[in-house]
């Protein structure tokens, strides 16, 4: 009997399989196989007999072979691994120059000094239940040509006392973040750090939508992959790994505690911040469209009196035209605020 992918996934759930990775092997019961090429096993044990509590997440690109039977083993591998796409985000990830900072010695000082010289940086954070002021495990900072991954779980508060607080709190460095709420809350609750001078790409995307639709706000806020794909024209196939974070269950969130951190997760963290700086520039250009229209009117009215505005025209896509439009925008803003709040 020949099984298609959907039938195969259904068939394999609850079955015990063996996964062979590049460095080790694991046995476990299949909980689910995700469309982003990740596999979740329960009742996991290693080839050395070591047992793991709860569930364990495996990335398809890590899997060398999967075995359930001679006929199904290769299908585990072919379904989980990124072998069906000629253009995925792993190629880009291989080119990212990221540095792991997990000790206050050789690499920490030069990294902080380099970041302090920047005017604009991309910032991200990973951890467990960050929206509930949970545990911040990683802090990512992207400069023009490098990404620093600070292991906050190992570094602790000393990392902030030795430079990170100054970087995050100073008004001289612009921090570009996608949805700053969780990171700001965790930094304040755990380390007393007050994040400042932030450009939030999620807020900017909502304002671009507001302008584009003539005064409406979106029903929900956009995810980072959605914003990057829309404004930077990056194919969604190159951003598939960024969806891993949003698809993790509560039990799987504990993977941020794992040390050493799996390489695919390190690449996901790096990918989550490298687009932030160029994304800010594109969003600013969109938000400044009305301003540029007004400048163009000035250029086309160069023979008018210096103090006159009668020949200057500006077509705004976001300016309400009537009292009804004003009321419509007010009610939309309230609804959008509720929608954004429901995402917290």
Same domain? 133 vs 73: no
Structure-block tokens of residue 74: 């290769």
Return the CATH number at 39.
2.30.30.100
Inside any domain, residue 265: yes
Report the pLDDT averaged over residues 37-58.
82
Neighbouring residues of 46: CB distance < 8 A, sequence distance ≥ 6:
24, 25, 26, 27, 52
For tokens 């009305």, the residue is: 290
Same domain (yes/no): 154, 15 = no
C-alpha distances (whole Å) from 134 to each of 102, 131, 137, 191, 342 are: 20, 7, 10, 12, 18
Clarify whether residues 132 and 47 are in a common domain: no
pTM of the model: 0.68
Looking at the fold, whether 64 and 155 belong to one and the same domain comes out as no
**For the domain that residue 272 is a member of, what is the CATH number?**
3.30.420.10
Residue 296: inside a domain: no
Q: Which domain holds residue 20?
A: 5-79
3 state DSSP class of 191: helix
- Same domain? 37 vs 114: no
Q: What is the rounded CA–CA span in Å between residue 287 and residue 151?
A: 35
Residue 73 pLDDT level (bands cut at 50, 70, 90): very low
pLDDT at 95: 61
Q: Are residues 104 and 197 in the same domain?
A: yes
Residue 23 sits in the same domain as residue 172: no
- Whole-number Cα distances in Å, 239 to 53, 125, 159, 343: 30, 18, 30, 21
134 and 252 inside one domain: yes
Mean pLDDT of the region 30-56 = 81
Provide the domain count of the chain: 2
Mean pLDDT of the chain: 80
Q: Based on the fold, state whether residues 75 and 129 are members of the same structural domain.
A: no
**DSSP state letter for 28:** E
Answer whether residue 273 shows pLDDT above 60: yes
Within a domain: 290 = no
């Amino acid at each position: 009997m020949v099984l298609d992918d959907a039938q195969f996934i259904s068939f394999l759930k609850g079955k015990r399989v063996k996964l062979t990775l590049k460095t080790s092997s694991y046995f476990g019961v299949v909980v689910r196989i995700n469309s982003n090429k990740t596999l979740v096993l329960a009742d996991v044990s290693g080839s050395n007999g070591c047992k793991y509590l709860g569930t364990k997440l495996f990335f398809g690109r890590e899997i060398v072979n999967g075995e359930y039977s001679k006929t199904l083993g290769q299908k585990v591998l072919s379904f989980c691994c990124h072998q069906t796409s000629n253009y995925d985000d792993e190629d880009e990830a291989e080119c990212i120059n990221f540095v792991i900072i997990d000790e206050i010695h050789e690499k920490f000082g030069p990294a902080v000094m380099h970041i302090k010289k920047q005017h604009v940086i991309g910032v991200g954070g990973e951890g467990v239940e960050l929206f509930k002021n949970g545990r911040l495990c990683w802090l990512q900072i992207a400069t023009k040509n490098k990404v620093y991954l600070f292991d906050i779980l190992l570094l602790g508060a000393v990392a902030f006392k030795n430079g990170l607080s100054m970087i995050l709190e100073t008004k001289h460095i612009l921090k570009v973040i996608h949805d700053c709420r969780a990171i700001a809350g965790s930094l304040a609750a755990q380390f007393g750090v007050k994040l400042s001078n932030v450009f939030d790409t999620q807020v900017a995307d909502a304002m671009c939508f507001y302008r584009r639709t003539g005064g409406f706000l979106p029903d929900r806020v956009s995810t980072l992959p959605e914003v990057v794909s829309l404004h930077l024209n990056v194919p969604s196939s190159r951003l598939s790994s960024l969806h891993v974070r949003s698809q993790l269950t509560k039990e799987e969130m504990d993977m941020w505690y794992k040390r050493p951190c799996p390489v695919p997760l390190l690449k996901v963290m790096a990918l989550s911040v490298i687009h932030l700086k160029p994304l800010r520039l594109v969003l600013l250009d969109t938000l400044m469209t009305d301003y540029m229209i007004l400048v163009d009117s000035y250029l086309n009215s160069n023979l008018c009196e210096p103090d006159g505005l009668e020949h200057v025209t500006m077509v705004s896509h976001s300016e309400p035209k009537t009292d009804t439009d004003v009321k419509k925008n007010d009610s939309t803003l309230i609804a959008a605020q509720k929608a954004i709040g429901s995402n917290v």
